[in-house]
Chains A and B, each alone.
Chain A
Amino acid sequence: GAVVSQHPSRVICKSGTSVKIECRSLDFQATTMFWYRQFPKQSLMLMATSNEGSKATYEQGVEKDKFLINHASLTLSTLTVTSAHPEDSSFYICSARVLETQYFGPGTRLLVL
């Protein structure tokens, strides 16, 4: 199957700093990637759809100025959590679709102190 990588796997940062998470499709091209977030004991929740060469579309309640998404190439999407606060601590995971199946990265655990 298709492989999606994510970097870093975990990050700890101070409140007020920005953190960038990379999502790469390793063996296929992805015009669209998805970013999900998971809080403890909750389901994966879609945050935004990343579109290559155009603006991302955000789900209701997700602040676009806080979660900056850039999809500059067919194999890379980045999510930047700007001015991170402790409530942004969560598990962030990306995916990309090949035919009818979505393939996920391994996720990034963010802890904001």
Chain B
Amino acid sequence: ILNVEQSPQSLHVQEGDSTNFTCSFPSSNFYALHWYRWETAKSPEALFVMTLNGDEKKKGRISATLNTKEGYSYLYIKGSQPEDSATYLCAHPLGFGNEKLTFGTGTRLTIIP
């Protein structure tokens, strides 16, 4: 993996169901992995910044895991609600202490009421 890749590109989930999607990133020279939620016409909202292999972070019904050795992170949403509809982006910095972020194209999540 040379760049940040996210899958799937889009996802439709029934309200109440749980779901997850993937962010893949270069596993060499890992520094950090950022997750954002981006609702239409709003600013991207920072969800998590993950730095340690095996790390798991949680914010309400949303959680994320990190595997730096194999270069992937999963984002989980439990009991999806309509307000979870958004594009979820992941990004990683270009180097240690480097503020420049490289983004994936995002996973567009639509919750079906």
By a beta-carbon cutoff of 8 Å, the part of chain A in contact with chain B is: 1, 4, 9, 32, 34, 36, 41-46, 49, 93, 97, 100-107
Contacts and interface: CB of A to CB of B under 8 A. Distances in A.
B19 interface: no
A34 B99 contact: yes
Given A43-B105, A43-B106, A34 B100 contact: yes
Interface of B: 4, 32, 34, 36, 41-46, 49, 89, 91, 99-106
A42 B3 CA distance: 13
Given A44-B103, A46-B100, A100-B32, A106 B46 contact: no
Given A43-B4, A43-B106, A102 B43 contact: no
A104 B44 contact: yes
Nearest to A99: B49
Contacts of B32: 100
A1 to B, nearest CB: 7
A102 B36 CA distance: 10
A106 B42 contact: yes
12 contacts: A9-B41, A34-B99, A46-B101, A49-B100, A100-B32, A100-B49, A101-B34, A101-B46, A101-B49, A102-B101, A103-B43, A104-B44
Contacts of A41: 105
Given A1-B46, A42-B105, A100-B49, 14 more contacts: A4-B43, A32-B99, A34-B99, A41-B105, A43-B103, A44-B89, A44-B103, A45-B103, A100-B32, A101-B34, A102-B34, A103-B46, A104-B36, A105-B43
